[in-house]
Amino acid sequence: MANLTTLHDLFVKELRDTYDAEKQITKALPKMIKQAHRDDLRAAFEEHQQQTLGQIERLEQAFEQLDLRAKGVRCHGMAGIIEEGSEMLAEKGDQAVLDAGLIAAAQKVEHYEIASYGTLVAYARTLGLTKVADLLAETLEEEKSTDQRLSRLAETGPNRQAATASR
Ligand code: FE
Ligand code: FE
């Protein structure tokens, strides 16, 4: 438990939470890559796995800027989202329908991250931590564009096929 006296304390708490969340994601994505049926979906997951490694490095740079040890604190929110995603990974059925389920699971991850990084960037700016804010804002943009890419995949691909799979 953290002692939250200042906004800076809250910022560090959220930073540690997010660091842990990103680490959980790097463990989950390889399973999503393995299970994706569509090539373009698999490619999106593979690219985001690489991006996520870079995002972890940015968080480590942020800790360094703050003279803090890079240490995560268990992110229960992400654990829950990933747990739901792994239930989806265990399902059997039509490939297009399963891909649509994977997209939905991945977008829940991205939305959680967008909320986290949005908060972190706002706190960092308020605290005058410009360099740190810029680092985190870069990641925020990556998460947003990943989310948009997944939306496009859902609209142009698996979901449409999934709708007709049973006909
Ligand atoms: Fe991320
Ligand atoms: Fe992400």
Contact 38, 94 (CB under 8 A): no
Q: Pick the ligand that lies closest to the CA of residue 48.
A: 2
Residue 2: per-residue pLDDT: 66
Q: Pick the ligand that lies closest to the CA of residue 109.
A: 2
Residue 165: per-residue pLDDT: 62
Query: What spacing in Å lies between the alpha carbon of 166 and ligand 1's midpoint?
Result: 35
Residue 156: per-residue pLDDT: 84
pTM more than 0.85: yes
Residue 3: per-residue pLDDT: 87
Give the separation between CA 145 and CA 96, rounded to whole angstroms: 23
Query: What spacing in Å lies between the alpha carbon of 21 and ligand 2's midpoint?
Result: 10
Q: Rounded to 5 degrees, what are φ and ψ at 138? A: -60, -45
Residue 159: per-residue pLDDT: 63
Query: What spacing in Å lies between the alpha carbon of 110 and ligand 2's midpoint?
Result: 5
Query: What spacing in Å lies between the alpha carbon of 75 and ligand 1's midpoint?
Result: 13
Q: Pick the ligand that lies closest to the CA of residue 107.
A: 2
Q: Pick the ligand that lies closest to the CA of residue 110.
A: 2
Query: What spacing in Å lies between the alpha carbon of 166 and ligand 2's midpoint?
Result: 32
Query: What spacing in Å lies between the alpha carbon of 142 and ligand 1's midpoint?
Result: 8
Contact 157, 80 (CB under 8 A): no
Q: Pick the ligand that lies closest to the CA of residue 144.
A: 2
User: Along the chain (167 residues), what's the average pLDDT of each consecutive run of 10 residues?
Assistant: 90 98 98 96 97 98 98 98 95 94 97 98 98 98 98 81 64
Q: Please enumerate in sequence order all residues whose Cβ is within 8 A of that of 7, keeping only pairs 6 or more positions apart, or say none.
A: 123, 126, 127
As a three-state string, the secondary structure of 83-120 is HHHHHHHCCCCCHHHHHHHHHHHHHHHHHHHHHHHHHH
Residue 82: per-residue pLDDT: 97
Residue 134: per-residue pLDDT: 98
Catalogue all structural domains in the chain, each as residue range(s) with its CATH number: 7-163 (1.20.1260.10)
Query: What spacing in Å lies between the alpha carbon of 86 and ligand 2's midpoint?
Result: 16
